[in-house]
Amino acid sequence: MSASLLRSRIAAQTTGVRAARQRIANEQRRNASSSPRSTGSSAKALVYGTALAASTLFAYFYTTDTRAFVHRWVVPPMMRIIFPDAEDAHHAGTAALKSLYALNMHPRERVKEAEELKTEVFGTEVKNPIGISAGLDKDGEIPDVLFDLGAGIVEVGGCTPLPQGGNPKPRVFRVPGLDGMVNRYGLNSRGADDMAIRLRDRLRRFARSIGVTEADVLNDNAGVPPGSLKSGRLLAVQIAKNKDTDGSNEKAVADDHVYCVKRLAPYADILVVNVSSPNTPGLRDLQATGPLTRLLSAVVDEASRTNRKNKPKVMVKVSPDEDDDDQVSGIVAAVANSGVDGIIVGNTTKRRTGLAPQGARLTAREQKALAEDGGYSGPALFERTVRLVGKYRQHLQASSLKEGDEQKTLFATGGITNGHQALQVLNAGASVAMVYTGMVYGGAGTVTRIKGEMRDEIRAGKA
């Protein structure tokens, strides 16, 4: 290599090194001048991020708390606007609660249960005496959500042995002026097999989650009742005959119920026989003493064969319309003779007298709803419910004195919407006060509110 070529190469390398140094220096200057700006924007991102996370957390805790304003004052009126048909609102509500539960975003009670509300039902210490009445969760799809809303007892069903569609739609009507409803669903049900599969699956998932077997749960080795799967709470499962089963054929009616007991009894703490729905022709005739005694005996007999350590209790749900002394004493005799454990007093009523207070102005639509065939429910039933609970308690007392039997348990349903009313039915002789229509108008926080009102009244020494 010639000396001149070597010199020119060295010169070129030196220039390259200088240029590279210059680039690095420029880069460092640029970085040095831009770093305060980047620190500022990451601080901003941190503030925004934290604010977003905090408000998401707040929104989560607020909307999933049953005490939130929205559950009482926003959701129920919105449902009435979005779904003019009350049945559509019912299905949408159930579907929404089911999906929210799967995402752990469902409303739930976040207040501690008041000690004063503890009560004993069928020998189990139950956290509170408020129940959710049958028909809200017809197919047993959301019992856990309903327990999380704070209920001590949840009744799912009515469930029929075979699936049936119920009456033609429309069949549920609102009377917002009275916070009431008329329904003639006609015991639409997916049937006992379907409900049994769902309840069994629920039980198996629970058993797996705590590392025990299905048999352990069924035989009371899991520390929770085998129906509710929650300590201090009970699950009632309601059963009824199919519409097409001839009500005058006692054997066929008993077979329908026995089928339901066979399928559902393992997953129930309480089985409820429904002979009081006004929307299945002839169903209420089953309340006559003879047929009722035989039907209830068949159910008690089958329930006693349930493959479980402790068998489910059996109750019968009776109509508020069969309320004269003879009818009540006939039903009480059937209860005593069959060995049923208790009575759910009340259901919807066929009567339409005395529902609207004097001077109440109802819209044409509300008047039309009131005139629909079906059972009415809502606050207007309340006074009759208290009277009827008192009457059943009296008749039961008289009959147990005669027989030397232990007292039967009463649950009350019909028009209960606040804590004062719940205390009134308990004082009249019921162990549990159940709600349905009150929740339709009062929303997901209704049970929490009722219990809070009861607690306050008890603490104030008024109850």
Ligand X SMILES: Cc1cc2nc3c(=O)[nH]c(=O)nc-3n(C[C@H](O)[C@H](O)[C@H](O)COP(=O)(O)O)c2cc1C
Which residues ranging from 368 to 387 are in contact with ligand X (CB under 6 A)? 377-378, 381
Question: Of these, 243, 317, 391, 451, which contacts ligand X (CB under 6 A)?
Answer: 317
# binding residues, ligand X (CB under 6 A)? 28
Of 228 and 277, which has the nearer Cβ to ligand X? 277
**Catalytic hit among 189, 277, 338, 377:** 277
d(CA 427, CA 340): 22
Of 228 and 276, which has the nearer Cβ to ligand X? 276
d(CA 230, CA 151): 11
Smallest distance from ligand X to CB 455, Å: 20
Smallest distance from ligand X to CB 447, Å: 12
Question: Of these, 64, 183, 293, 306, which contacts ligand X (CB under 6 A)?
Answer: 183
Of 80 and 110, which has the nearer Cβ to ligand X? 80
Of 171 and 395, which has the nearer Cβ to ligand X? 171
Which residues ranging from 151 to 180 are in contact with ligand X (CB under 6 A)? 158, 172
- Residue at token pair 């503030």: 47
Smallest distance from ligand X to CB 254, Å: 19
Smallest distance from ligand X to CB 411, Å: 10
Which residues ranging from 11 to 30 are in contact with ligand X (CB under 6 A)? none
Please tell me whether the peptide bond between 170 and the residue prior to it is cis, using omega within 30 degrees of 0: yes
DSSP states of 160-172: -SS-B--SPSP-E
Assign residue 11 a region (left: φ > 0; alpha: ψ between -120 and 50; beta: otherwise).
alpha
CB 98 within 8 A of CB 138: no
For residue 110, with 0-12 CB atoms within 10 Å meaning exposed, 13-18 middle and 19 or more buried, which class applies? middle
Of 185 and 259, which has the nearer Cβ to ligand X? 185
* Piece in contact with ligand X (CB under 6 A), picked from 69-77, 253-261, 401-409, 412-420: 412-420
Smallest distance from ligand X to CB 434, Å: 7
* Piece in contact with ligand X (CB under 6 A), picked from 7-15, 93-101, 256-264, 407-415: 407-415
Q: How far is CA 132 from CA 154, 161, 168, 196, 395, in A?
A: 5, 22, 26, 20, 26
Smallest distance from ligand X to CB 138, Å: 6
| Amino acid making up residue 358 | Q
Question: Of these, 312, 346, 374, 442, which contacts ligand X (CB under 6 A)?
Answer: 346
Q: Which two tokens stand for residue 43?
A: 């601080």
- Residue at token pair 């009371």: 220
d(CA 256, CA 163): 12
* Piece in contact with ligand X (CB under 6 A), picked from 262-270, 332-340, 345-353, 420-428: 345-353
Q: Is 277 noted as a catalytic residue in this protein?
A: yes
Of all residues in the shown chain, the one whose CB is closest to ligand X is 135
* Piece in contact with ligand X (CB under 6 A), picked from 72-80, 92-100, 292-300, 409-417: 409-417
Beta bridge partners of residue 155, listed in sequence order: 236
Smallest distance from ligand X to CB 80, Å: 14
Helix, strand, or coil (residue 174): strand
CB 403 within 8 A of CB 336: yes
274 binds ligand X (CB under 6 A): yes
d(CA 386, CA 407): 19
Of 128 and 413, which has the nearer Cβ to ligand X? 413
For residue 397, with 0-12 CB atoms within 10 Å meaning exposed, 13-18 middle and 19 or more buried, which class applies? middle
Which residues ranging from 277 to 306 are in contact with ligand X (CB under 6 A)? 277
Of 218 and 260, which has the nearer Cβ to ligand X? 260
Beta bridge partners of residue 159, listed in sequence order: 239
Of 159 and 328, which has the nearer Cβ to ligand X? 159
> Pairing mode, if any, of strands 124-126 and 119-121?
antiparallel
Which residues ranging from 91 to 150 are in contact with ligand X (CB under 6 A)? 133-135, 138
Per-residue contact flags (x/-) with ligand X for residues 421 to 450, judged by CB under 6 A: --------------xxxx------------
| Amino acid making up residue 280 | T
Give exposure, 169-182, as e/b (b: 16+ Cβ within 10 Å): eebbbbbbbbbbbb
Residue 116 contacts by C-beta under 8 Å, 6 or more apart in sequence? Answer: 454, 455, 458, 459
Smallest distance from ligand X to CB 87, Å: 8
Per-residue contact flags (x/-) with ligand X for residues 185 to 224, judged by CB under 6 A: x-x-------------------------------------
Smallest distance from ligand X to CB 438, Å: 5
- Give CA angle at 64 (63, 65), nearest 5°: 95
Q: How far is CA 434 from CA 151, 257, 446, in A?
A: 9, 23, 11
Residues that bind ligand X in the complex, under the rule CB under 6 A: 133-135, 138, 158, 172, 181, 183, 185, 187, 238, 274, 277, 317, 346-348, 377-378, 381, 413-416, 435-438
Residues marked active site are found at: 277
